[in-house]
Structure 1
């Protein structure tokens, strides 16, 4: 099924959980497919049958084998058959769960509360519905499955309920995650063997013989197509499980890229679709490769499913779709892979992916009933009372709001609290240590007065970590403390809050107990720990201290080289097994304390080197408390408070910067004047450092215009939009160049298109695939953007592409939506400012600064618009019209529009608008590393195409679109068009040629930029009268670049009205074009269809050659090798009218105009004038006879 269908399906699930899909073609008898489904009748499939039957015997033997053998028997599984139809095309659908962490029911037992977007039961509802639509679907799980959420209560069961749940759903393959090792190797093997699908990981090996621990991949045969799924596990298990090496005894974990290459070498070409199920985040850890790295290194993957990061995303990297569904079952990741069979081989023709949220999905009743015992036992265990809490441990876990839920910044990471002290006291006591360190895994951890239950222990200590005592030198302990303190951002003047490093996870910030210390945030990381005191004395760097840490942190210390394995002096798991887990030790401690826990705060550490009290601070914090000001989080949402509030960011009540650009036309590469995507993103990033309240918008014509954008259908432009966090884009005429469907696809990828005046002719309402407006709330202000397209779009793109649309007057649409928004009827509420985001042309007089244009003049009369962004005309416009600020920022990303919205304390708005000519100072603009990397990735892939040299120029071949009449490049292109098809005349629209060609090598990249459109050659016959009208249409038009032609001489009078200027046409050989004769002409399909208002209704014998103009230009250049710049002087002859006076003759008129001419030169001009004026006898003219005389003579 396609991505669009997936979303439709998901919508149905929200309202009707159990329904019969109308698109199901046959009844699925077995809800859960097994490994031995019907086999494809091919030689390969026959082999698969034999292997499968053999596997059944092995499975039986494995079941008979005692569990105590602890040998992986679920291994080397044969291909799984999914469907046997003989198809020529199909869509392979793959769904995946990841990081379920013990969740079957939508319930969090640590807080004894429903979790609306969690659990296999909700996932299974989606899985069932998807299988009805696609019974051959492959279902995967990406690891971190059997740990957390009271799952350890069932560790003695075989199978474990989480494994049983996967079996119940018919999960086909399971990638091993890092948390699968938390309870030991024996526990893991037991669950591997209990799983009915295949367990996969390509980078875990048995140390004894080098064999795979589990199989590296699983093959599926889907209606004859070979789908191979490779699993990858984080290679850092020895680091994370360092305190319990028996958990990974005799196993080797190999670096991911190396293992993946070896597995691919083993597979060879024996696949049609390659899928990754990698329990890895996008970015690597500890110097290893992440999914970004692997997608770049191995583009043969169609889809890579991620995990481990607990993030929800869908991205394209190097042509590979990467997707992760978040954590706990919040989403089901689904990929649809379109396959087409060509010459007996399957080819991937497209990949769509989406995360289907479970938030509004009802859990599957069958699964709830099946695993009711898990829920009931977990609830009972969670509510087991183990003691009493005498008082709240933290009075308000949110530092600013003092609320019981963290929404701004956590108290526990800004000051010492009783919760972290309890954990550290327990660790220090049972490890018999001098010092203890611990992190809070839940920023909102707290113990409230009342009964102390087991669920409260899980709430304050999430993971089943064990306790380790380690000897560490004072010097290395200080290094460890500095490592932990890098969690904070460095304080700077004006900061009124402390913030956290977005690249450091909160679980890596440890607080220390048994030692007094200060953290100086005026210093950079590595130099922050000050005034360390132990037992009332200065800390001794040369002394060895006993330190209590959890097993995970012991692995960190080993990796940092701060301790050695032999430094471990205590291991709670070795001595106490499961009773030695820190959660169990907290229970033990509580009982030893007589069942009563009282909050104790040592205040043994504090943050120094900062000044947070500034006038106006409380006013700003009040706005934080009310939600008007949001404290930024990391992009993935996992790290709170990643930027400090700075008093200097609030010189007024609120300042919002809007950055605009228009007519970008795919110029993602930095050029002579073009900033390119890396610097545009860098510009905005730098601005955000000065003022976080920045919005970015585009006025349209985003994609079409450069090779790298055209060949990837705008992919790098969308990369830039993503990095800019683009609020929205107006729809330019060139957005339609690839058809309406492409606009819909771009929107699906996150681009918000705004269009209030584009109507569907069928419904007479605004189109459904764009929004008429968008309201964005920032800094407590609601800013509305109303989208408007130029009415001329109807004829300034391929007419076929907009034939079902109508473009209503801009002022009509604007008035309707401004009134609607100002009425407060919008669900988002009444906006504080309204910006018209338009692809409407404007021109500004250099001297008077007057802004003109038919549409802008009408639009500016609409009341309620606070500023207007324009485009289309490729001009620099900065000023006001009817009192409304207007900007247009040139073209190609050379300049950036700036609109500053300043609200005072009474919410009065002041608008300042201008254009930053950024190309004049582009050397000072910082480069975004991420944007640069994305561009280089795309460019590298296209280098073989773009870098191809097709010819050479010894001088510039100019096409100045702002100038009038014929250009050398325009003539050259039209001449090639007519010669390629053998016609007399070539004609093309000047706007279809986008730039000049410059001296030096001509590459295919240059040709794509000159001719970015995929226009095709069309031949026909036209009458002389019609030909005259076509040429006349392209001379000095006020709404388009002048037409370009070859094969003709044109005599025209520029003083006459538009489309009445041509006086005479002559063919290349001098033959006069006669109205009633027919002539052969070559043009392009864009203007044939009515583009630029050309009219070809009188033509006959019209033939579409389906040959692209760019191809014939390339062929002509390669043939010529060195392109000669044509001399176009004398091809267009401007004339004026002159009435003959007594005594005039042509000779005298010419001599009077230029008495330096020789008789021979005069005679030649006389002949030309006779031809122009069609004089039978050049010596005979009459008084008052109207003559056409060249303007230049």
Structure 2
């Protein structure tokens, strides 16, 4: 008894001494409540498109966004939080205004710059986007092999039915596990060259999620998140304003239900906690249960494009009586990277790629004989920028007709020396050139489809009110080789008032050879009349490289090259645009 009493007394003294020591050191014992509660932070990027440095390579000016700024924020969050998950939502491996064009053209044997930096940053996963396939499966495979994090997509399978790549990943934080399911928009076959996705099948995102989420739960995932490169079936009319996403009012159908699945995934997948959306480049702080938009507890966020925002999801987890964790509270927001200092580690890691890119974009191409303005007004009249693309495509193919679009609202070329910077700023995507055979009926249908870009004219004096914002600018085509007028005071489908080829009216059965990019030839943008057209030729050379070759041959290009082969009616609309 005496020995036992001494033992107990000794233990009590030791416990008291340890308690004093822990208090002195600022250490506290967790309470029962604290032990049964945990906090998770998910940080997500999407549609980075090769952006590392906060710079616009097309203007040589500072421009917020990119991995260098993001890593500074990530380090701060990690220092303040124990459980942080860093994920990306795809469209990482392609980008015109980035270090990637030089890398793929001249230095493709070196480590992919985006993967190199993401490895440094400690990403936990990356979902595949549609642009990951632009350079083919070999290039994608090299990037995946270099990644020190899982690259995932559950709804891409081989023709045999086996997974193309890992469908999901589960990260063990010790206390709990988080499952991340990768989803890719199933519309990739519509846009991508067949050889770049040979042997692959793109399945329904909803059916895929219904299959895998229960598996992830069964494997111990306490939290399940879809990081899906897919966007919105509906969105607020003012979707460019962050606060518009917090109200169920004034939502409109996007007409893109085949490619965008975020809302259906949120409402129809049991066991799902949150979604990181992507693909359509929107910044969305949080869409949660409201009206008929989302009817479950799943929250959706989206981090914009080019690293201008990071989506942040905060979750409070509580342990239930069964010992399993569940999400008690959840919220999300988007954090702007504007003004954030670039992380020196990333700046150093990407310096070689950056320096080579700057020199590449300085390379001279031709002489611009005058200013060539762009922006939305340039879609209202025949302009030199699209004329340049179309003339290059006709020069390269000898086609009867060429089709091209202004991809961005910011492209312009000033009078003076024209450089690679100007060409790549105008033609930002790595599309290749096809020729197809179509008839006059299909040609008229295609021009009518382009005319949907304009709202019906009823006397408006504001140019912006004439733009149909549900149609992306890069899906409005301008044609060279035919003469035509579009009357936007007429109803949709009845706007092409004149259509001639070499001065003669186009007959419905008349056949034409048409030059256009691979995206449009596959029916991208809703141009289904091209999808089954006879394919005559396809180039492996990018359109922008063809433009460079053409411009170096002709030596100069400018406003005098415009032939005004098409125009908008009423004439007051074009006049208004030219004065804009």
How does the TM-score come out when normalised to structure 2?
Answer: 0.84
Comparing 262-271 with 462-471, greater Cα deviation is found at 262-271
Report the Cα offset of residue 226 of structure 1. Answer: 2.0
- Alignment of 1:358 with 2:324, yes or no, is no
For residue 598 of structure 1, report the CA deviation from its aligned partner.
3.2
In structure 1, which of residues 502, 510, 526 is the aligned counterpart of residue 493 of structure 2? Answer: 526
| Greater Rg over alpha carbons, structure | 1
CA displacement at 1:544 relative to structure 2: 1.1
SS of residue paired to 1:556: coil
Q: Does 1:99 align with 2:47?
A: yes
- Matching of residue 583 in structure 1 with residue 544 in structure 2: yes
Which of 256, 259, 262 is residue 285 of structure 1 equivalent to? 256
2 CA distance for matches of 1:366 and 1:150? 17
Deviations 1:366-423 (A, max 9, x none): 21112111111111111111222222224xx4xxxxxxxx5xxx32111111111010
User: Deviations 1:161-187 (Å, cap 9, x if unpaired)?
Assistant: 001111010001000001111101111
> Given that residues 191 and 524 in structure 2 are in contact (C-alpha distance below 8 angstroms), is that contact kept between their aligned partners in structure 1?
no
Q: Deviations over 1:905-945 (max 9, x none)?
A: xxxxxxxxxxxxxxxxxxxxxxxxxxxxxxxxxxxxxxxxx
> What is the CA distance between 1:461 and its match in structure 2?
0.8
Q: For 2:386, which of 410, 420, 424 is the aligned residue?
A: 420
- Identify the residue that residue 815 of structure 1 maps to in structure 2: none
Q: How far apart are the structure 2 equivalents of 1:494 and 1:453?
A: 38
* Corresponding residue of 1:324: 302
CA contact (8 A) 1:206 1:250 kept: yes
2: CA distance, partners of 1:446 / 1:256 = 38
Distance 2:382 2:336 in 1: 38
What is the aligned-residue RMSD (CA, Å)?
2.4
Asked whether 1:476 is paired with 2:442, we answer yes
Specify the alignment match of 2:558 in structure 1: 598
Check conservation: 1:158, 1:190, Cα contact below 8 A.
no
The SS at the match of 1:349 is: strand
What SS does structure 1 have at the residue aligned with 2:154? coil
Contact 1:256 1:289 in 2 (8 A): no
Q: 1:598 to 1:321 in 2, by over 3 A?
A: same
Say if 2:306 is the partner of 1:346.
no
Q: For 1:236-251, what aligned pairs fall within 5 Å after superposition? A: 236-241=187-192, 244-251=193-200
Mapped pair 1:373 → 2:324: no
Q: Deviations over 1:792-834 (max 9, x none)?
A: xxxxxxxxxxxxxxxxxxxxxxxxxxxxxxxxxxxxxxxxxxx
Tell me if 1:315 matches 2:292. Answer: no
Tell me the residue number matched to 1:881: none
Match of 1:219 in 2: 170
Q: Structure 1 residues 355, 558: closer, same or farther in 2, change over 3 A?
A: closer
1:467-506 superposed matches below 5 A: 467-493=433-459, 495=461, 497=463, 499-506=466-473
Shift in Å at residue 288 of structure 1?
4.7
Equivalence for 1:306: 277
Q: Please list every run of 5 or more consecutive structure 2 residues that lacks an aligned counterpart in the other structure.
A: 1-25, 28-33, 234-254, 289-293
Matches of 1:159 and 1:217, distance apart in 2: 24
Cα offset, 1:154, TM superposition: 1.4
* 1:541 partner SS: coil
Aligned CA distance change for structure 1 residues 216 and 612 (closer, same or farther; 3 Å):
closer
> Hey, what's the Cα distance between the residues in 2 that align with 1:340 and 1:415?
60
**Separation in structure 1 between the aligned mates of residue 257 and residue 313 of structure 2, nearest angstrom:** 30
How many residues of Structure 1 are paired with residues of Structure 2 in the alignment? 512
Offset, 1:264? 2.3
Q: In the alignment, what sits opposite 1:440? A: 406
Contact kept in structure 1, 2:456 and 2:489, CA below 8 Å: yes
Out of 74, 77, 88, the residue aligned to residue 130 of structure 1 is: 77
Alpha-carbon offset, residue 281 of structure 1: 1.0
- Larger RCO, structure (CA 8 Å, separation 6 or more): 2
Choose from 222, 234, 237 the match for 1:272.
222
Q: For the residues of structure 2 that align with 1:231 and 1:376, how far apart are their CA atoms?
A: 34
> Compared with structure 1, are the counterparts of its residues 559 and 446 closer, same or farther at alpha carbon in structure 2 (3 Å cutoff)?
closer
Q: Determine the C-alpha separation between the residues in 1 that align with 2:259 and 2:377.
A: 34
User: 1:450 aligned to 2:427?
Assistant: no
What does residue 569 of structure 2 align with? 608
SS of aligned partner of 1:100: coil
Counterparts of 1:349 and 1:561 in 2: how far apart (Å)? 46
1:607-626 CA distances to partner (integer Å, 9 max, x unpaired)?
11465699xx99xx99xx9x
Which of 118, 124, 142 does residue 166 from structure 1 map onto? 118
Tell me, what secondary structure is at the counterpart of 1:562? helix
Contact kept in structure 2, 1:158 and 1:191, CA below 8 Å: no
SS of the residue corresponding to residue 433 of structure 1 reads: coil
Residues 502 and 268 of structure 1: CA distance in aligned 2, closer, same or farther (over 3 Å): same
User: 1:224: Cα distance to partner?
Assistant: 2.7
Contact 2:230/2:259 (<8 A) preserved: no
Instruction: State the Cα deviation string for residues 449-473 of structure 1 (Å, max 9, x = none).
Output: 1111111111111111111101011
Superposed CA offset, 1:238-288 (max 9, x none): 1101xx211001111112111111222433544211101011112273535
SS at match of 1:328: coil
CA distance in structure 1 between the aligned counterparts of 2:394 and 2:425, rounded to whole angstroms: 20
Contact 1:465 1:552 survives alignment (8 Å):
yes
Q: Does 1:200 align with 2:152?
A: yes
Give the direction of change, closer, same or farther, for the CA distance of 1:286–1:363 in structure 2 (3 Å limit): same
**Aligned CA distance change for structure 1 residues 613 and 304 (closer, same or farther; 3 Å):** closer
Unaligned runs of 5+ in 1: 1-24, 27-85, 398-405, 574-579, 626-1193
In the alignment, does 2:270 pair up with 1:294? no
Normalising by structure 1, report the TM-score. Answer: 0.42
